[in-house]
Amino acid sequence: MKTTKDILFFAVLALGVGLFAAFGRTSATDAAYSYAEEPEIIAATFSSAWCSSCKILEPRLKAIVPDFADQPVKFVKLDFTLGQRGAVADKAAREGLGHIYPQFKGATGFTLLVDADTGDIVDSLTIRHSEKAMRAAIAQAIATASRES
């Protein structure tokens, strides 16, 4: 006979599995982010499934990514859903963000616009930016990086 404690344990376990399945990141989510061959700007989104700001920011970003399909900008997602794992740090390093990662690791709900050549943070996007403001900020970052190249 199951005790209340056993039933509660399995209910919480099932809920956890269900939440992970519902909010877990898949490669299909990452496919929404486009990649330029030689980016001048890296738009690095620090994200997680539990972040309420991310739930506002990410759909706005997803809506404007197609506008930059032929532009020198690379959209990268650093996903902290399962914590600060080594895989996130490795991805940051591969994407040219290794020097920025230690300062921002674990924080979520924003996108940094990083000059791919210098590694400088040019701007940041948050939920306070409308889609129009995001487009303008990314376009300005690309224009600035292009002039400096």
**pLDDT, mean of residues 122-134:** 97
For the chain, the helix, strand and coil percentages under 3-state DSSP, each to the nearest 5 = 45, 15, 35
5 confidence band (pLDDT: 50, 70, 90): low
Average pLDDT over all residues of the chain: 82
Confidence of residue 22 (pLDDT cuts 50, 70, 90): very low
* 32-80 pLDDT per residue, tens: 455 446 899 999 999 999 999 999 999 999 999 999 999 999 999 999 9
Q: Is the pLDDT of residue 26 over 60?
A: no
Q: Going from the N-terminus, what domains does the chain have, and what CATH number goes with each?
A: 24-148 (3.40.30.10)
The pTM (predicted TM-score) of the whole model is 0.76
Residues 115, 122 contacting (CB under 8 angstroms) = yes
Number of Cβ within 10 Å of residue 49's Cβ equals: 18
